């Protein structure tokens, strides 16, 4: 007695081996792509996408090389200060967090959370 198998992608009746899952390479590829898109996003992609968004926002709001902006503005646009690539500590002990070449320092002034935005400089290497 033969067990009836159908293609996992197009549900067409399969001929051949009993362990066959797809009717052709197109269905196999399409099924894998669909499965990957429907599944949870991989951790790497989440981190990479957040870093890209953070960099884009820091670059957009820091045209002059140094500026100050209310934290809420960036955060409302999707900025997440928990994602950064490296940091630099100045002589005052303040720690600037960087997303590639664009950095920020969280400050509180008059009860308002702000970010001081800076661009990476050569003197920051050490």
Express each pLDDT in 87-125 by its tens digit: 999 999 999 999 999 999 999 988 999 999 999 999 988
Express each pLDDT in 56-91 by its tens digit: 999 999 999 899 999 999 999 999 999 999 999 999
pLDDT score of 56: 98
Express each pLDDT in 1-53 by its tens digit: 556 789 999 999 998 888 999 999 999 999 998 888 777 777 888 899 999 99
Query: In this structure, how many other beta carbons lie within 10 angstroms of the beta carbon of residue 100?
Result: 15
- Token pair of 49, please? 């996408």
* Residue labelled with tokens 């989440």: 46
Kindly report whether the global pTM for this prediction surpasses the value 0.85: no
């Amino acid at each position: 007695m033969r067990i009836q198998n159908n293609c996992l992608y197009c549900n067409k009746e399969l001929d051949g081996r009993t362990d066959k899952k797809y009717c052709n390479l197109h269905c196999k590829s399409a099924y894998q792509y669909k499965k990957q898109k429907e599944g949870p996003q991989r951790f790497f992609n989440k981190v990479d996408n957040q870093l890209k968004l953070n960099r884009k926002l820091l670059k957009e709001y820091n045209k002059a090389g140094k500026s100050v902006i209310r934290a809420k503005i960036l955060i409302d646009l999707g900025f997440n200060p928990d994602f950064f690539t490296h940091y630099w500590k100045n002589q005052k002990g303040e720690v600037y967090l960087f997303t590639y070449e664009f950095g920020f320092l969280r400050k509180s002034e008059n009860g308002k959370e702000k970010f001081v935005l800076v661009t990476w400089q050569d003197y920051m290497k050490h």
